[in-house]
Structure 1
Amino acid sequence: MNATWASMPADLPYVNFGDALSPIVVSAISGRRLRKMPFVSPESRLSGIGTIAQNFAGGTVRIWGTGLDTFTRGSNVDEAGYHLPPGTRFRVAATRGRLTKERLAALGLHAPDVYGDPGWFANKIWPEYANEEKVHDFGLVLHLTEWSERRPGASLKPGLRRYDMPPELAARVTFINPVAERSVEGVAEVVRRICQCRRILSTSLHGIVVAEAFGIPALFLGATAPFGPQNMEIAEIQTHRLDHRMADFYSVLDRETVPAFSWPRPQPLDWHRVLEWCERQAPFFHFDPRPLFDAFPYRKAVRFEDERWPVRSDLLVDGDFL
């Protein structure tokens, strides 16, 4: 089975855990081995997790839970926005959110009212993590661009003062790097660390997706300052003001605002106030993943009701997550 997903450069022995969830979930649902295909190809292939729809050209691309970036300049995005590449057939089974669907529909592509990020099914791959002991009150899942190196164990980039944590809070908070060893076990370790937290605050989209999939309340941490610590009680941010990935993800909720916190990275932050505010937020991400599962565009080897979807030991036809 052909599939395409984002990955780190081939000379790095690591992956971004959110991107790597795509082949894991797709192979588990289909029961098939995967052959990784490039974004530009004449062959038919599946697109799953990621803000990657804008990268495809050629052949037939089956979109299942994918997001679209119409802002970042690239081969199919110019000053006028995203345009459909010639010689490419898109078959849309589901989109990550309503924003992606609307942008594709504006270009004449039919897309059903089926939404969701396939990373939600991490709880079917590792159901045992739902019972993982909670050893941290908060986990901060920080985007890979905020780490000094793209490897597990890396330190944060210097100058990110908003992450200066008071010593008295250090035992309550853990920092989680989304970069994993290039293996199913490596990805599982990041998921497990998220599940060891009672709440998640994240700049990583899949830090939030995975946390919510396991029933762990998660909040987005942005990089601007529409609200200061003195206004923490009213930190409801309009979804259209969020990062476009998060706006698309939250668009499935039919909410104009979501509780989120935003603060410039170089400025120190009152973490006592932030954590108190986080603790007061009630869970709000209520999502039924069944339609997304049903929309999977290939034959399924598992049932939605199954507690665990096994991952093949020979996940890929050749190579690993390269």
Structure 2
Amino acid sequence: MKTALEALVQSEGEVRLGWAGSTTLMDYLNFEDALSPVLTAMVGGVPVRRVPAKSHSVRMAAIGAIGHTFEGGQVHVWGTGCSPWKNPSAPVDRRVAFAPPGHGAIVLHATSGPVAERLMANGGKRPGLYGDPAWLLPRFYRPRIRKKWKLGVILHLSELADRSYEPHPLPAFERYDVPEEFQDDVHLITTVTPLGVPALKAKLDEILACERIVSMSMHGLIIAEAYGIPCLYFPPLSEPRGLGRLALDPEGPADLRIVDLYLGLGRRHIPAYFQDRGRPTDWQAVMDAVDRTWEPVTFDSKKLIEAFPFTPSPLKAPSGKSIWDHPVIKGLILQHDVALLRQQDRDSDPADPIEVNQTEARALEPEREGGEKPATVPSTVAKVVGSEKAPPAGMTPEVATLLRMNAERISIPLSWAATTRESPYANLGDTLSALIVAGMAGVPVRRAGFDQAIERMVAVGTIGHNQRNGILHFWGTGVDAERNPVDPLVRGYVRPADTAFHIHALRGPNSARTLRAAGIEVPDVFGDPVWMLPRFWPMKDVEKTHDLGVILHITELEDRTPEAGVKPTLRRYVVPDAFKDRIRLINTHCDPTADAMRRKVEEIVSCRAIVSTSLHGLVISETYGIPCAWFATYGDGEGRMLDLGNAQHQIDHRMRDFYSGVGRSTLSSFCLDRSKPTDWDQVLSWVHGTWRPLTYDDQPLIRAFPMPLAVSPDEMTWPLPAEIVDRIDY
């Protein structure tokens, strides 16, 4: 029976394919991703037309861990990988597990491995056929190439300092330093490739000219294995050091794509050369390890071709030439205007338009949804745009006129962990970012995506490592040194390409060290913007109703609603009857409004003391002068003064960053495993006996604000006009 895809290919004379291709903002190809249309054309024998991942069309997917990105229509999967997360680049506590679409929306013909198959099957047929289409390259192209180097070292994109065609590892990655005595033997290889099919051939030839390969790139390993080049995975793990055995655990620390690749080959563990990125490599030991451990892999390429989603018609090289000279391959378009691509996709099926992503739409549109008329222009906006008779100094009358005409539309694009359709309630600490920035600037803020290619602000939250593309203005932001903005499956922060950084202030020195190690200039201005909260909401009249407030982290709640209770397995949060009126458990979720946020802050301020697993529970307590301590999740129920400078002391990196930035050397902590009951009298005694007010000068943080200030740094109370904060889509 002819499938819908087969019928479409026969009708159009080409195959629709979704892949992670290059855009008009890029002057390069990623060699790995660009192999997808190449192999599809080689096996299918027809031209390839790129379509978006989100489309209502019938289409194919081939090379790449991209299965989680497809929405709409019907996708025929051939050798594709998949992330377990729908949004793998999001912060860990905001990731949403990937759930495949309804039955029949994804048709599996083959997957990169059993993990990808399980993730995409959705209870449907599992073909049990594993393999990346790049395995098929030797069937189409097997040149005689003189070996030039004893060892090729293939870097992952996330390890590169830029996107030049020559490999430039990040300066901190000393493992890629090649001493002079190995300059002729060890060759670093980047998957960044010039635009065009000839460059893809040249990159493949470059890999084939190596006697051995070690690689962080999955396709570096696949190509080496397919062509019989001895190879090893080169993970950046510090233990065990040197040659070791890597267990192929999908939940383990190794790149899931590598794990899935070798699980699909029937392996349960593989040899690997473990080398910390910050330490020099013994290249002779690496080559010896490859020679000692590599064994050829058996892969049945015939079965993968037989599983092709429509009748295969493999291309043959023109007489006297290579497969790269075939007109179908030479005619492949590998760079696209994404907006035009989406428009063409909509035009091809006008009766069934693609659903608009409302979050992206709001990020681009400063006005409210539904065409509502914006609220009255705040007086602070009038100050920014000036008056008709007297434009601000340095501003021409024409510019002042233009700004006046658009006063109702002025807003600040801000990246923050905003509400979503799946999580419609605000998390207090995250959402205060929008309120504080809007209040200090005197204009509303609008949502900006974490990877949107625009100029934007980034403020409250440990979200700096998630930001890429565009021009970024960081102010009081936190950065997780272990998170990777380019590839979330690879540990360690790297500087993303196509991104300009303007760091005005960071949350603390740990965040600063992370960015500086990536070559980003950072001033010594530290602090969390939530510290400004009492200037907007002094809370001087709030009655103290509870002896102790216990602020829960969102991961400790049964769900993400304001009414959610604590997970029943966490026994330390059980409050005996004798303490029911004295202890308040505080859930930081609230409705996404300024009034609801204020009520949540009042709830915290109504307590005489606070213990918190949430960073912003502590920041709010400190800025309002409430005795507080970190409620550490380990220990037997004892208070400890933890040394912030001692890496051996178990301290949440966010707490260490903030408190180090405000000049503290120790952190007051009450340490108790969450499975054990709490002695609440002991907690209260510890907090009141050890807490001392923070002495923190917030003037440098205020004056580092990237926008024109609508408030005075010298005033202790600031206005928070409803016409500004009520217009924000939190």
TM-score by length of 2: 0.42
**8 A Cα contact 2:485 2:494, kept in partner:** no
Matching of residue 27 in structure 1 with residue 449 in structure 2? no
- 1:168 is matched with which residue: 571, 578, 585? 578
AA of the residue aligned to 1:110: E
> Residue 307 of structure 1: CA displacement?
3.7
Provide the rounded CA distance (Å) in 2 between the counterparts of 1:130 and 1:66: 28
Alignment: residue pair count: 315
Aligned pair in 2 of structure 1 residues 314, 219: CA closer, same or farther (>3 Å)?
A: same
The runs of 5 or more residues in structure 1 that have no matched partner are none
SS at match of 2:630: strand
Matching of residue 8 in structure 1 with residue 413 in structure 2? no
AA of the residue aligned to 2:691: A
Provide the rounded CA distance (Å) in 2 between the counterparts of 1:11 and 1:277: 39
1:211 equivalent in structure 2: 621
AA of the residue aligned to 1:313: A
**8 A Cα contact 2:438 2:444, kept in partner:** yes
Provide the rounded CA distance (Å) in 1 between the counterparts of 2:466 and 2:726: 23
Identity of aligned residues (%): 35
2:449 equivalent in structure 1: 38
Provide the rounded CA distance (Å) in 1 between the counterparts of 2:585 and 2:533: 20
Matching of residue 191 in structure 1 with residue 608 in structure 2? no
Provide the rounded CA distance (Å) in 1 between the counterparts of 2:501 and 2:588: 30
Provide the rounded CA distance (Å) in 1 between the counterparts of 2:582 and 2:725: 39
- 1:238 is matched with which residue: 643, 661, 669? 643
Provide the rounded CA distance (Å) in 2 between the counterparts of 1:67 and 1:34: 20
1:60 equivalent in structure 2: 471
Provide the rounded CA distance (Å) in 2 between the counterparts of 1:310 and 1:163: 37
Provide the rounded CA distance (Å) in 2 between the counterparts of 1:319 and 1:95: 24
- 1:200 is matched with which residue: 605, 610, 613? 610
Provide the rounded CA distance (Å) in 1 between the counterparts of 2:668 and 2:603: 23
SS at match of 2:516: helix
Matching of residue 252 in structure 1 with residue 252 in structure 2? no
- 1:84 is matched with which residue: 495, 499, 504? 495
> Residue 317 of structure 1: CA displacement?
10
SS at match of 2:677: coil
1:222 equivalent in structure 2: 632
1:290 equivalent in structure 2: 699
**8 A Cα contact 2:447 2:729, kept in partner:** no
1:279 equivalent in structure 2: 688
Provide the rounded CA distance (Å) in 2 between the counterparts of 1:290 and 1:179: 30
- 2:592 is matched with which residue: 167, 178, 182? 182
The runs of 5 or more residues in structure 2 that have no matched partner are 1-411
Provide the rounded CA distance (Å) in 2 between the counterparts of 1:258 and 1:284: 12
> Residue 315 of structure 1: CA displacement?
3.6
> Residue 106 of structure 1: CA displacement?
1.3
AA of the residue aligned to 1:237: L
How is 1:258-277 mapped onto 2 (pairs within 5 angstroms)? 258-277=667-686
Q: Which is further off, 166-175 or 113-122?
A: 166-175
Higher relative contact order (CA 8 A, sep 6+): 1
Aligned pair in 2 of structure 1 residues 138, 36: CA closer, same or farther (>3 Å)?
A: same
**8 A Cα contact 2:550 2:583, kept in partner:** yes
**8 A Cα contact 2:593 2:726, kept in partner:** no
Q: Which is further off, 269-278 or 204-213?
A: 269-278
AA of the residue aligned to 2:593: S
Provide the rounded CA distance (Å) in 2 between the counterparts of 1:79 and 1:191: 37
Provide the rounded CA distance (Å) in 2 between the counterparts of 1:150 and 1:317: 23
TM-score by length of 1: 0.92
**8 A Cα contact 1:134 1:197, kept in partner:** yes
AA of the residue aligned to 2:712: R
Aligned pair in 2 of structure 1 residues 224, 2: CA closer, same or farther (>3 Å)?
A: same
Matching of residue 18 in structure 1 with residue 437 in structure 2? no
> Residue 70 of structure 1: CA displacement?
2.1
2:278 equivalent in structure 1: none
Aligned pair in 2 of structure 1 residues 30, 143: CA closer, same or farther (>3 Å)?
A: same
> Residue 314 of structure 1: CA displacement?
4.1
> Residue 138 of structure 1: CA displacement?
0.9
Provide the rounded CA distance (Å) in 1 between the counterparts of 2:718 and 2:520: 32
Provide the rounded CA distance (Å) in 2 between the counterparts of 1:28 and 1:319: 11
CA RMSD of aligned residues (A): 1.9
Provide the rounded CA distance (Å) in 1 between the counterparts of 2:691 and 2:497: 46
1:109 equivalent in structure 2: 520
